Amino acid sequence: MPSSHPPSAVAETGRDQLRVRAARNPGFPLELDWVRELRVNRSAAERRAGTLPRRRTVKREWQAAWLLRALTLVDLTTLQGDDTPGTVRRLCAKARQPVRRDLLAALGAEQLPIRVAAVCVYHTLVPTAVAALRGSGIPVAAVSAGFPAGLNPFPQRLAEIRASVEAGAAEIDIVITRAHVLTGGWEALYDEVRAFREACGPAHLKAILAVGELGTLTNVARASMVAMMAGADFIKTSTGKESTNATLANSLVMIRTLRAYGERTGHRVGFKPAGGIRTAKQALDWLVLVKEELGNDWLAAPLFRLGASSLVTDIERQLEHFVTGRYSAAYRHPLA
């Protein structure tokens, strides 16, 4: 996996990509035969996913380079019941400057636009985030459509999406109705996500599948395909509130379904694992997975995100270790 370039060069590769929005996925007519023919061998998927952390390691300057890249892929998130405007403003400050300037200077990366890909908050805090990020180029993402359960009345879910877009959200993370998947209601799921896409207007739509509640990896593949057919710009693993969130195995299934959709339709869809990604080592595992399955083009914010909060602090700690040879306490770093 390692690139042949030093840390600053690897980060530089993504400089322009961070400012470019991926082309929208216009969707595709629902093809039930295509959906129903999808099958996943769980043991094979888990075996393949299990090889990645063992076979691919990134060390020294290459690790620093990939961790800088990982920072530019993070949707920095706060979705707690005790969120306040102050919490969100602090989060946005970290989004603008995820790594201390002295560390960037030591890495030769002080001139690079190292910032996160987006800030993700609840609908009520969208105006606060928009104001705090003004001029930074960092978009605000809002969780919507009855997050996290997705069981609010349908008109309310549509209204919430429209309100978040009107408040300034450039990306909308919706949550699907899991019952449609568990009962094989693929037409209902398609219609639901299509309606969400229309409600988003110009905002990009990320469809959260809540894979830990879908029962089987075959259901994960089928839900992924239907969401993409309905026009999702990203497919996302989890709300972060389920007992099982992003794993390498369920991510592998989603990525391969995404690849099959692109090969057949010519449309590229982004991927976002979320929930439980807390360490720099985990972030590198997901970068390896995406690189090996999709290629280098997907290692940029328009097509790949990492939904996380504490991850940013751990990456900063790892970068300080690379610079100084010592691990610092987390409290020494500005909080996200």
Length of the chain: 336
Quickly count: other Cβ atoms within 10 Å of residue 210's Cβ: 26
Phi, psi of 36 (to 5 degrees): -75, -20
First to last CA, the chain: 29
233 is catalytic: no
User: Does the active-site annotation cover 236?
Assistant: yes
Q: 3-state class of 205 per DSSP?
A: strand
Give the dihedral sign, CA 185/304/239/113. negative
Chain centroid to Cα 234, Å, comes to 8
CA distance linking residue 150 with residue 78, whole number of Å:
18
User: Can you list the positions of beta strands (E) in 32-150?
Assistant: 74-77, 118-122, 140-144
For the chain, helix, strand, coil in percent to 5 are 50, 10, 40
From the candidates 173, 233, 285, 314, which is the catalytic residue? 173
Exactly one of 272, 285, 291, 314 is catalytic; name it: 272
Active site residue 16: no
- The active-site residue, picked from 75, 206, 233, 236, is 236
Active site (catalytic) residues = 173, 236, 272
